[in-house]
Structure 1
Amino acid sequence: MAKKQKIDFPVFNLNKDDNKMENFSDMGKWEDIDRKELFIYTSIDCSAKSKIAAFDIDGTIIKTKSGARFPKNGDDWEFYFHNIPYHLKKLYEENFKIVFFTNQSGLGKDPYKIKEFKRKVENILTKISLPIQVFFATGKTIYRKPLPGMWNTLVDLKNDGVAIDLNTSFYVGDAAGREKNWAPKRNKDHACVDRLFALNIGIKFYTPEEYFLKAKQVPYIMPEFDPRNLSVSHYPDIKYSKPNVILMVGGPGSGKSYFCKKVLIPNGYTHINRDKLGSWQKCVKSLEESLQLQQNCVIDNTNLDKESRARFIEVAKKI
């Protein structure tokens, strides 16, 4: 066990009304995707860059001003360390694009809570006074860390086609799997999702103390299950007298598409995916056409309910 190190946590004191900001709409824009599962704010001068400096928000950029574990309202915040604006400004000058990624499932679909959190984000960005892009996930879907949905959205849609350099990009977050007393009188981290988020993306990871205070790395605990340690599986060759249909079932990010791309498609399966085709009706039609051509098929959708599965099972029964 590494020797415990003393870490000072300076407080950045805001004036009473510093968090009261108005007329922010002309500084950038909000948008949402996937039925408000993901909200994105982009500052008006935020431009695409190959280097990404990414940060969590709560417990990394800010903490509660009240000292409570959870904020009492949208104004209950202050910077986690006093030098955070300085570091972010330095990154901006070094041609990094600054991006915040945060899980906010507690907001749910509550319009008032979402509006308040947006106001809180706007106040934080106004205080930092730099072009920044913010992603926050409201549900427990592919966008929720440690799944890479928010990052993939940045790569695919929100960086203007500029390729991101994974070697120079990094992510900073407080959910790092550190045990109780990793620093004097500090509780264990509530999770390890920030460390795993960076691992899933393939970029360097730092805790707030490591990045902003240059503290040494402390011991941490990774999940017991590590998919990187799975042995390589060899699937048997199975021959069918009729075309074969495989119906994938599982939530977003559970590995369905990965299995299709790594195992089934290389073995000649026609890949039928709603994300690509746009509707279940088009998926059913694609299955019918593929089976008429005597092709093996895989239906790569979530297919979580009986009704969804039945549409494809009925077509397959007609072979």
Structure 2
Amino acid sequence: MVRPKRKATEAAAMEAKKARGETDLSDGLKWHQAGEEIKGVNPVIVLSSDTLAGSQKIAGFDIDFTVIRTASGRKFARGSKDWTWWNDSVPEKLKAINKDGYRVVFFTNQAGIEKQKVKPREVMTKIEDIISQLGIPVIALICTGNNHFRKPSTMMWDYFLENCNGGVKVDLTKCYYIGDAAGRAKEWAAGKPRDFSCGDRMFAANIGIDFKTPEEYFLGEASAPFKWCSVDPDKVLSDAPKPPAKKQEYHVKGKEIVILVGAPASGKSTFRKRYLEPYGYLAVNRDTMGTMAKCLKAAKDALKEGKSVVVDNTNPSMSARSDFLDLASKTGCPCRCFVMNTPIEVAHHMNMVRQNQTNGQVRRVPEVGYNVYKKNFQEPTIEEGFTEVLKIDFVPEFGSSRDEQLFRQWTFFG
């Protein structure tokens, strides 16, 4: 009597969930979003379970062109149903390692979500279908954009350890990661294109676990030559000058204008915070003040009050620097130029490191920012009106052990 009504209610609820694209999964697996929103999107979407037992052994996998490929043969899938197994051996292999006590975990970058080229539900539905066909529990983490969770950053792995493994400490010697972004050159095998990046191999290296390509893992093929396609952060640190025993001084007693010149993430802001601002220099920056007019007004007001000014922008060209040089000339104030002598590839690396150090609060500068800087760069000279031009070498100094740890992780720009 009451039972038919309950069944009708349950059926209606199931239909409503189906209409929303939601799926009931076994083993208590449920979707949730994590991390602070960036541009209205959470940086990571997680499929996990509060009841699933943790494991010391983790088998991590990329998804696209590792576990599956597009059924259409296209590079990018046409909807959530455009997929087939990467190889017929994949499902049985995943079932076998699950039976052997491994927890299967998918870690996937899906920047198309942030770019609004793909809807989150598309990716989630695809993963649900994969798990349904496998018939085993799989935890999944989806990075939704070019944020601090994006591989090769270890933050998806770290989140998994802290929140999705039932408090069980993993044994890194028994864990591994499989992915197709392995740094292989074009024609690494007959007819094969080059890998988009080395991001999956870097991800495993940053964690400290073994890595294999899908060809090696599922097909038993020999490993192919590869390149990291990025600076080696450990070598950068070993080759860089050591910090001097005594802190250097770059400030002057009288008022002046200092113009910083350097590529994005080359160390300009760190330099002025460490060596100039503590001595009363006012930082003017278009990123925070909005316009050149506001920067110039702030600089004029500071000089009237007897304060020095440091101009913290990339300032690559003579025209970008001319307004402040004119202000220095009109006010009879000396103007020095500090050029960040940081190799561009190291600046690229620090661009990604900075995003990770700030947990995404400072977003990475897109490639176009570096291209514009290189296109417009004109070497500063005394003839331009500077009283002095100094080149500042890259000397790494870390505020914490975490900052150094993040610097030592592999990164790629893409």
TM-score, normalised via structure 2 length: 0.53
Cα gap change, 1:264 to 1:207, in 2 (>3 Å): closer
| AA partner of residue 183 (structure 2) | G
1:27-60 CA-partner distances (Å, limit 9, x unpaired): 3200011121100002576421111000000010
Structure-1 separation of matches of 2:216 and 2:358: 32
Cα offset, 1:73, TM superposition: 1.2
**CA–CA distance in structure 2, aligned partners of residues 215 and 255 of structure 1:** 40
1:265-306 Cα deviation digits (max 9, x unpaired):
9xxxxxxxxxxxxxxxxxxxxxxxxxxxxxxxxxxxxxxxxx
Which of 189, 201, 209 is the aligned partner of 2:195?
189
Aligned length: 242
Q: Does 1:236 align with 2:244?
A: yes
**Separation (CA, whole Å) in 1 of partners of 2:157 and 2:113:** 20
Identify which range, 208-217 or 153-162, moves more after superposition: 153-162
- After the TM superposition, which residues 148-187 of structure 1 pair with which residues of structure 2 at under 5 Å, given as runs? 148-187=154-193
- Sort the Cα spacing of 1:169 and 1:26 in 2 relative to 1 into closer, same or farther, 3 A: closer
Which protein has the bigger helix share?
2
Change in 2 beyond 3 A, CA 1:121/1:234: same
Task: Please give the per-residue CA displacement for 1:145-184, whole angstroms capped at 9, x wherever unaligned.
Answer: 0111101111222212211111110000000011111121
2:345 corresponds to which residue? none
* Structure with the greater alpha carbon radius of gyration: 2
Structure 2 Cα separation of the partners of residues 48 and 109 of structure 1: 34
Aligned residues: CA RMSD: 3.1
Aligned-partner Cα distance in 1 for 2:243–2:118: 51
Aligned residue number for residue 25 of structure 1:
24
1:185 shift after superposition: 0.9
Give the 3 Å change call, closer, same or farther, for CA 222–228 of structure 1 in structure 2: same
Q: Is the 8 A contact 1:43 1:132 kept in 2?
A: no
* CA displacement, residues 174-215 of structure 1 (integer Å, 9 cap, x when unaligned): 000111111211111111100011111110000000000110
Mapped partners of 1:62, 1:138: distance in 2: 19
Cα shift at 1:233:
5.2
**Structure 2 equivalent of residue 76 of structure 1:** 82
CA distance in 1 between partners of 2:190 and 2:403 (Å): 51
Aligned to 2:71, what secondary structure does the other structure show? Answer: coil
CA distance in 1, matches of 2:185, 2:71: 24
1:152 is paired with a residue whose SS is: helix
Higher RCO structure, 1 or 2 (CA under 8 Å, sep 6+) = 1
Alignment of 1:69-108 (within 5 A): 69-108=75-114
Which residue in 2 is equivalent to 1:259? 398
C-alpha separation in 2, matches of 1:262 and 1:113 = 38
C-alpha change, 1:26 and 1:96, in structure 2 (3 Å) is closer
Equivalent position of 1:59 in the other structure: 65
Once the two structures are TM-superposed, the CA of residue 110 in structure 1 deviates from its matched residue by 4.7
Partner deviation per Cα, 1:51-73 (whole Å, 9 max, x = no partner): 10000000100000011111111
C-alpha deviations, 1:58-102, integer Å up to 9, x for none? 010000001111111110000001011111111111111110000
**SS of the residue 1:134 aligns to:** strand
CA contact (8 A) 2:52 2:166 kept: no
1:44/1:61 Cα in 2 relative to 1: closer, same or farther (>3 Å)? farther
Alignment-mate amino acid for residue 87 of structure 2: F
* Residue 124 in structure 1 maps to residue 125 in structure 2: no
Q: Which residues of structure 1 form unaligned runs of 5+? A: 1-21, 266-319
Counterpart of 1:42 in 2: which secondary structure? strand
TM value normalised by structure 1: 0.68
Over the matched positions of the two proteins, sequence identity in percent amounts to: 35
Whether contact under 8 Å (2:154, 2:206) holds in the other structure is yes
**CA–CA distance in structure 1, aligned partners of residues 123 and 93 of structure 2:** 24
